[in-house]
Structure 1
């Protein structure tokens, strides 16, 4: 495999690392929740806002970050996002009250992580458009979320026990800023302009036609409900273990088990989706795994042994794996098209952010009111089952999928077209019609297409 063919996988590696850092910081907020309760003497309901706000702001930053990427590119947005996230964590180390901690850790860090996470989500599909291994590439990159949760949970617990909460945030600030250096590996794809025609205003408006599709709202109600339930477990599972008499270390280990499960299941889901068994496979997997999340939660009523908590953590991780990565990309591409992915994915992040915002605080309120986690667990069961029902409804009622068109593209020799030798440009043959390509650098152009186009005859692979 040549260097040019290898580079897209380097992008997968960079996306993997950034997702690991982002989730390692944001989705271990349940451990931070316990730390804040110990040091700030605040109530469960008020403290729960920390766990929900950081994940909410992270996802809510998606649409804005997507627009900024169009202007400044992948590298700059990721670099700035890493700096903002690190700054927020550094400021958190100076917190003297819960309000300032929510501002610094929740809003500032959350927004910076969201900028980096948005780019990590779209850069891999962009590099693997039309590639036979696109879904497994997306799955590998998204496994960073599971690895981050797995690795950071014991690290955060160790740093807190050894150095205290202030130094914990300082170390996390340094780790967050590594997103900036890793993002420099995102080599921009070359700018290609087909001069055959210009997109009309009507064609531009057509990008938003998915908003007129009722299935889009039903699907995202499903995503909202499942992330609502996820945020409850991520925010309170450690505290739930403490109420059962287990140590903080054992509570932190449960998050590691969730991370391992997420990583393994995302890989398996990516392999399954790349097999192209069925166009409807992504939504079928969503139906199954979200229902699994609801049914698995009932296990916590049957036993309070630590082994049962470990089993639940593994099943919950399998359920969570379906709410991101290849399954989400597969559903959005199947129903609304790859060409709309930046728009639909940005909307998806905003909706899931709303679910993350509401879940944990409501759970904290229920626990404070009832002095028991039983109502909280019942709520998780209901939201997960309803989420599965939303996707089942779309699968049964909306049977028409978006049609993606594929063209046979062949490369011809460079033609001067009346220009000097140094200004000659390449052309493509699209539907037997020659179209000139206006590109800045033909070498970079060949790099971008090296994985998707056979270098000898120009046919797609």
Structure 2
């Protein structure tokens, strides 16, 4: 099994040092990005009554925010590639703060769609992608553990923001709460300030300086073509290079050549299938408990149990993934985590009482945390840190569709059958199928990578042997030695 890909950044990541404050900043930024849209649902009932709108209309606030956060991935990736993570995250924090403050003065639901949904969602997109990218610049060996700690920000912030929002709502109402939340979101700017750009270390610079010198010596001793024929001979008669095509121009901003990357396509197809059944079970967990006759507070406590287990599972999964037994096979670990989610959902309808649902919440929290901790680490393992920013942007915009459609499809199944168990069966089957698909295709990809690596090593060996045989002057030297030896022998015989 091949080792994880190198960073291709021109330096060796420190795997510590200032990287740990960077992980803390990513913890904050990712926590706000994933938890904030869910925590806003506390204000929906009063906003619904204030604007006299239906529940479906008010629910679009969070849906638009999440959709914009995912759809804004490519824009965020382009900005990160051009300006770096720090200014993009700081800009995202300012956008989120302005959006919430402006929404506190809103007079219609449309204004909330624009302020909270579009502007706030784009601000969260500017927080999410750079936070995931910067970790790959500071970590290589300890990257799974660092990603697991950063992704733990989502459940921690969800558990924290829920009571904070309830307290703000009881004290200031939804308008005052939105104004205060705008100031709270400025902490994303603090998180972005921790994302200090990393430079090339002196050791790496020395290696880069030494490498061309060695190559230059080999090229001087071997017959090779000039690197730029037109530069060497401007009158060669060749046509000038054609202007770059549309794809090449787009590649300057975001690497669309990833769609030719075999591992990236396997990851993308498996994740799109997985996300159709990923969020619906957690959305309908409390309603399902109420459907079984469990009281509201006990039903809500199931989500707290899930969040607490999730909070522990994410960093724990990162530590396990960082071991020497799992790290080279991390794609298999991710496939198992996805399939494990599916098995949990398939067994959920067997829970007839509250104790059974508590057990389901524990196992589901563990499975959910495992997938979330490995979700972006496996992508970085496939494409490397250099192309990760473009990869995560392309993935999030494509995943936007199943993220939006998954819960409504689950709700449609509940409406059609009048029972929640069929929704859990379908979600479980979808995620189990996605896990099996990822496992089989990753096995196929690993085999091909091993074969390609052996062919590449054999080709390099053949080229080295060819270079040694083609060194000019070697045959001449041998002939001169032979001619020198013959007269000496003849003289001795005489």
TM interval, shorter chain, is 0.7 to 0.9
- Residues 50-449 of structure 1 correspond to what in structure 2 (within 5 A)? 50-128=61-139, 130=140, 132-190=141-199, 208-246=256-294, 249-278=297-326, 281-325=329-373, 327-368=374-415, 371-399=418-446, 400-401=448-449
Contact 2:320 2:326 in 1 (8 A): no
Distance 1:43 1:116 in 2: 31
CA contact (8 A) 2:91 2:123 kept: yes
Take 1:388 and 1:4, find their aligned partners in 2: how far apart are those partners?
A: 30
Name which one, 1 or 2, has greater alpha-carbon Rg.
2
Q: TM-score, normalised by structure 1?
A: 0.74
SS at match of 2:197: coil
Residue 19 of structure 2 is aligned to residue 8 of structure 1: yes
Question: 1:38 Cα deviation (Å)?
Answer: 6.8
Between stretches 95-104 and 193-202, larger displacement belongs to 193-202
**Once the 2 structures are TM-superposed, how far is the Cα of residue 9 of structure 1 from its aligned partner?**
1.1
Deviations 1:106-134 (A, max 9, x none): 22222111111111111111112x4x322
Distance 1:124 1:218, change over 3 A: closer
Change (3 A) 1:171 1:317: farther
Confirm or deny: 8 A CA contact 1:53 1:356 kept in the other structure.
Answer: no
SS of the aligned residue for 1:229 comes to coil
Report if the CA contact (8 A) 1:44-1:365 is conserved: no
Structure that is richer in helix per residue: 2
Contact kept? 1:33, 1:50, Cα under 8 Å: no
1:32 offset after TM fit, Å?
5.6
Cα–Cα, structure 1 residues 67 and 31, in superposed 2: closer, same or farther, change >3 Å?
A: same
Who is 2:3 aligned against? Answer: none
Matched ranges for 1:41-56 at <5 A: 43=54, 45-56=56-67
* Partner deviation per Cα, 1:331-365 (whole Å, 9 max, x = no partner): 22443334322222222222333322222233344
Superposition deviation, residue 289 in structure 1: 1.8
Alignment: residue pair count: 398
Q: Structure 1 55/258 Cα, relative in aligned 2: closer, same or farther at 3 Å?
A: farther
Residues 272 and 399 in structure 2, CA contact (< 8 A), matched pair in contact too: yes
Separation in structure 2 between the aligned mates of residue 45 and residue 376 of structure 1, nearest angstrom: 20
Residue deviations 1:381-413 (CA, integer Å, cap 9, x gap): 232122212212312322234999xxxxxxxxx
- Structure 2 gaps of 5+ residues are 1-13, 216-226, 229-240, 454-494
Structure 1 residue 168: deviation in Å? 3.4
Separation of aligned partners in 1, 2:311 and 2:258: 31
1:62, CA displacement in angstroms? 1.9
- Say if 1:159 and 1:168, in contact at 8 Å, map to a contact too: yes
Matches of 1:373 and 1:46 in 2, distance apart? Answer: 23
Aligned pair in 2 of structure 1 residues 298, 214: CA closer, same or farther (>3 Å)? same
